Amino acid sequence: MSTTIASSEHHRHHDPARQVPAYASGEPTVRVEGLTKAYGDRHVLNGLTFEVQPQEIFGILGPNGVGKTTSIEIVQGLRRSDSGTVELLGLDPSRDRAKLRALIGAQLQSSALPDRLRVGEALRLFARLAGDVVDWRELRDTWDLARLERSAFGSLSGGERQRLFVALALVNRPRIVFLDELTQGLDPAARRETWRLVRRVREQGTTVVLVTHYMDEAEQLCDRVGVLHDGRLTACDTPEGLIASVGDGVRVRFSYAHTAGLRGLEAIDGVRRVAHDGNQVEIATRPSGVVPIAAELDRRDITPDDFSVVRPTLEDVFVSLTTGGTR
């Protein structure tokens, strides 16, 4: 069966009293340099390079099939790269996997458990294999699994399985945890609650690497985001930094049918362009131009009911970086 990294394979020899490797906390938790990976003629990674700092939530953003899962599996030592180097907490995951077992956790897309295994049994088993570093009841309650404690894995919904796998990834209180498509299958309320819990994991000292294709998740949750495209990170910054670097700033939108009444708006300081589509008007401007635009429209007795200000999102950045266009 496929399992999370907090599986019996990884904890069979774990001694909770043993010394963990020395690590300078000021150094990057993850350092990846020049990773390449190809499957036949298909090149998935082409010189992937990035660093993750201690106690940050670092997001790898990209559509399905671009190599997100492959990249974090290589970083964890679960898959070999064709070339490049990886350091995880100062260790090489391909050579020092035994030393890293007690230090990392993961929830993977391919995770699975026996259908008849009950939720409570899984939590107790994995916690014991990890040396009872964490009380399994604490994880059960934190991740809202108490009502499912006697439920068999095969009866769980996709969202319930996701919560269980995240809890299992934390049984060893890892220094770094990898979360792959964390909220896939969860409803909006459950997604927001999961984000809150992930922030709590980080606050307790754990570095989080989050793989996602959900733009809102990356924008709301991550301290920094790397956009994976053509086998490398084409951009890496805070969500705010990425948003500020791409596009026309904010957009002012409203309905107005008389084009002639809008002449001269291009001259307002900060306005970059004025576009018309039927009776729909969109003005691209720097944020500082919004108030002067509103004041000028009021001066001209133009007071549309649907006046709105739209700020660019991470989705706009993603579309621009991966297709060469703006949205």
In this model, does residue 12 exceed pLDDT 90? no
Model confidence over 28-86: pLDDT tens digits?
999 999 999 999 999 999 999 999 999 999 999 988 788 998 999 999 998 999 999 99
Domain boundary among 206, 225, 244: 244
Domain span including residue 305: 248-311
Cβ distance 150 to 118 under 8 Å?
Answer: yes
Instruction: Tell whether 231 and 289 lie within a shared domain.
Output: no
State the DSSP string of 177-197: EEEESTTTT--HHHHHHHHHH
> CA 235, 241, 244 angle in degrees (round to 5)?
105
What is the number of other CB atoms lying within 10 angstroms of the CB of residue 319? 17
Instruction: Tell whether 221 and 291 lie within a shared domain.
Output: no
Is the residue at 2 inside a domain? Answer: no
Instruction: Tell whether 152 and 261 lie within a shared domain.
Output: no
pLDDT of residue 271: 94
Q: How many separate domains does the chain show?
A: 2
As a whole-number percent, the residues of the chain with pLDDT over 70 amount to 90
Model confidence over 122-175: pLDDT tens digits?
999 999 999 999 999 999 998 989 999 999 999 998 888 888 998 999 999 999
In this model, does residue 304 exceed pLDDT 80? yes
Instruction: Tell whether 50 and 70 lie within a shared domain.
Output: yes
Instruction: Tell whether 215 and 232 lie within a shared domain.
Output: yes
Instruction: Tell whether 299 and 212 lie within a shared domain.
Output: no
Under the banding of pLDDT at 50, 70 and 90, the label for residue 313 is confident
Instruction: Tell whether 266 and 225 lie within a shared domain.
Output: no
Model confidence over 163-209: pLDDT tens digits?
899 899 999 999 999 998 888 878 888 888 889 889 988 998 999 99
List all residues 6 or more positions away from 38 whose beta carbon is below 8 Å from its beta carbon: 44, 82
pLDDT of residue 317: 85
Instruction: Tell whether 90 and 171 lie within a shared domain.
Output: yes
